[in-house]
């Protein structure tokens, strides 16, 4: 801090060594000088003080479940810290008090925008513990791939639409949700629910695919393609969006790898990491599709990657529908095509949804209770007590819409998990927010966060 020199006039004067500021004062001017010095010192303090701003708790296009703590210099962001935990549900801990099958009801509620990925990953982990991975019926595996790829499109269009909405483009969100609506209708047709399905089970599926399902999905594919194309027309050549997205929230490939970045965010930087290719599961090695990449990971390329992946998912869906129709033409027994034949795992009574889409049909219940008392008792024991899983631990990964989803499942030999832990891609991707946001403007932090597409249900678990 600079020194201040006072030059007094009058009969009584004092002198001080010269400094950056000089005041010439008379006898009654001390109060004015003291006020000016205090004002200058306050301005100097403010220039050197940290200004900390709470951005949130907030989350793109939803309610407050994520908090960003920013240090700013004017409009410039100098530091970003991410605060999570506002949506903590204790899913992983709750699973320790439920049977292995009941765990599906919890995991589907983690990333509620893309629930089928958690369901499949958890089922694959349990099947690996049981040693029945190779016994899963072909129809069940094909149906799992079909549902995951439909869910990938639904997740990506929500990311694109809500990201555009953050920039004031409400039309983008309406088109995205219109596209997603066709997919949710297919999910409802399969499981009776638009989300939180618990349809994938260890050993296969909760029930067979309904009659007319493949025809319905085929009928919706032109509308899905049309909506995707409309989103592209509104986004890719839009000069306003380009100015807000290109070069914004950029992260290098080296930085992304160091911070555990995954999914579209990493592939936009040029690294073709996709477990469907590098570590296939559910028969993905038998499907024909490409892994899109770009040369740098900024907001614009992360958006382009998701649009490209939607089209690749459509090609996989077409192949799945062909395979399901081929399986149907073989005339196989439908009662044993979506669940393993092992009676210690498969429920004797397969579910049948009522006409209103809620609960089990009364005809189905009457058939179960009137056919075999032994089957009814066995069904009751499997539902309430569950099946035993051999002691051991496994780690299973799948390519989630947001990136690599990992499941670490541990069994002590009982009917309940000893421990189940998820490596959620949204959680690992959030670590890169600081590198994407620091050095940029506060306004640029909003599209950067939206381009990561975090879902906090999976982050907090």
Contact call for residues 262 and 428 (beta carbons, < 8 A): yes
Contact call for residues 156 and 307 (beta carbons, < 8 A): yes
Residue 353 has what pLDDT? 59
CB atoms within 10 A of CB 441: 14
Q: What is the pLDDT of residues 290-348, one digit of tens each?
A: 999 998 888 889 988 999 999 999 999 999 999 988 888 776 655 457 888 887 887 76
Q: Where are the domains of the chain?
A: 4-49, 67-345+387-460, 348-380
Q: Write phi, then psi, for 144 (nearest 5 degrees).
A: -60, -45
Contact call for residues 419 and 410 (beta carbons, < 8 A): yes
Q: 164: pLDDT confidence band, cut at 50, 70 and 90?
A: confident
Q: What is the pLDDT of residues 229-288, one digit of tens each?
A: 988 888 887 888 888 888 888 888 988 898 889 999 999 998 999 899 999 999 999 999
Q: Average pLDDT for residues 152-156, to the nearest whole number?
A: 93
Q: What is the pLDDT of residues 173-183, one digit of tens each?
A: 888 889 899 99
* Crossing angle (nearest 10°) for helices 299-330 and 442-452: 10
DSSP symbol at 346: S
Q: What is the pLDDT of residues 351-385, one digit of tens each?
A: 655 555 555 666 666 766 667 677 777 777 777 88
* Crossing angle (nearest 10°) for helices 299-330 and 138-166: 150
Q: 42: pLDDT confidence band, cut at 50, 70 and 90?
A: low
Q: What is the pLDDT of residues 76-87, one digit of tens each?
A: 888 888 888 888
DSSP symbol at 342: -
Token pair in block for residue 38 = 């205090």
Q: 126: pLDDT confidence band, cut at 50, 70 and 90?
A: very high
Q: What is the pLDDT of residues 97-124, one digit of tens each?
A: 999 888 889 999 888 889 999 999 999 9
In the predicted model, is pLDDT for residue 21 greater than 90? no
Token pair in block for residue 365 = 């219940």
In the predicted model, is pLDDT for residue 187 greater than 80? yes
% of the chain residues with pLDDT over 70? 82
Q: Average pLDDT for residues 146-168, to the nearest whole number?
A: 87
SS3 338: coil
Largest CA distance in the chain: 119
Residue 161 has what pLDDT? 85
What is the average pLDDT score of the chain?
82
Residue 255 exposure: Cα atoms within 13 Å on the Cβ side = 16
CATH code, 67-345+387-460? 1.10.645.10
Residue 380 has what pLDDT? 78
Token pair in block for residue 155 = 């997740």
Residue 149 has what pLDDT? 94
Q: Average pLDDT for residues 150-155, to the nearest whole number?
A: 93
């Amino acid at each position: 801090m600079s020194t201040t020199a006072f030059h007094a006039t009058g009969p009584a004067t004092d002198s001080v060594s010269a400094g950056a500021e000089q005041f010439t004062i008379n006898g009654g001017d001390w109060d004015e000088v003291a006020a000016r010095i205090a004002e200058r010192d306050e301005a100097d303090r403010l220039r050197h003080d940290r200004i900390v701003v709470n951005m949130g708790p907030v989350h793109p296009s939803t309610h407050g479940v994520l908090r960003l703590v920013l240090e700013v210099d004017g409009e410039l962001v100098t530091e970003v810290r991410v605060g999570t935990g506002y949506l903590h549900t204790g899913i992983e801990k709750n699973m320790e008090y439920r049977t292995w099958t009941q765990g599906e009801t919890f995991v589907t509620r983690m990333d509620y925008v893309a629930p089928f990925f958690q369901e499949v990953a958890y089922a694959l982990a349990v099947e690996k513990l049981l040693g029945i991975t190779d016994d899963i019926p072909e129809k069940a595996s094909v149906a799992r791939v079909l549902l995951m790829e439909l869910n990938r499109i639904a997740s990506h269009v929500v990311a694109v639409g809500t990201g555009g909405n953050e920039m004031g483009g409400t039309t983008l969100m309406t088109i995205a949700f219109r596209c997603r609506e066709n997919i949710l209708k297919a999910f409802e047709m399969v499981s009776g629910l638009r989300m939180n399905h618990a349809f994938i089970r260890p050993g296969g599926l909760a029930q067979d695919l309904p009659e007319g399902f493949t025809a319905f999905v085929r009928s919706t594919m032109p509308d899905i393609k049309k909506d995707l194309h409309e989103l592209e027309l509104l986004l890719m050549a839009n000069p306003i969006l380009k100015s807000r997205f290109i070069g914004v929230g950029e992260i290098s490939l080296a930085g992304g790898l160091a911070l555990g970045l995954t999914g579209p965010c990493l592939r936009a930087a040029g690294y073709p990491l996709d477990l469907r290719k590098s570590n296939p599961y559910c028969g993905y090695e038998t499907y024909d599709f490409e892994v899109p990449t770009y040369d740098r990971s900024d907001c614009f390329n992360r958006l382009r990657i998701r649009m490209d992946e939607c089209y690749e998912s459509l090609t996989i869906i077409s192949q799945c529908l062909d395979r399901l129709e081929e399986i149907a033409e073989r005339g196989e027994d439908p009662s044993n095509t979506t669940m393993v034949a092992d009676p210690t795992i498969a429920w004797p009574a397969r579910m049948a949804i009522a006409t209103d889409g809620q609960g089990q049909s009364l005809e189905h219940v009457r058939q179960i209770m009137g056919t075999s008392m032994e089957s009814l008792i066995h069904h009751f024991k499997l539902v309430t007590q569950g099946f035993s899983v051999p002691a051991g631990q496994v780690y299973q990964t799948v390519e989630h819409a947001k990136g690599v989803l990992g499941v670490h499942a541990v069994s002590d030999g009982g009917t309940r998990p000893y421990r189940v832990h998820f490596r959620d891609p949204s959680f690992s991707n959030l670590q890169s927010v600081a590198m994407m946001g620091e050095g940029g403007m506060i306004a640029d932090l909003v599209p950067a966060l939206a381009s990561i597409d975090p879902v906090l249900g999976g982050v907090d678990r």
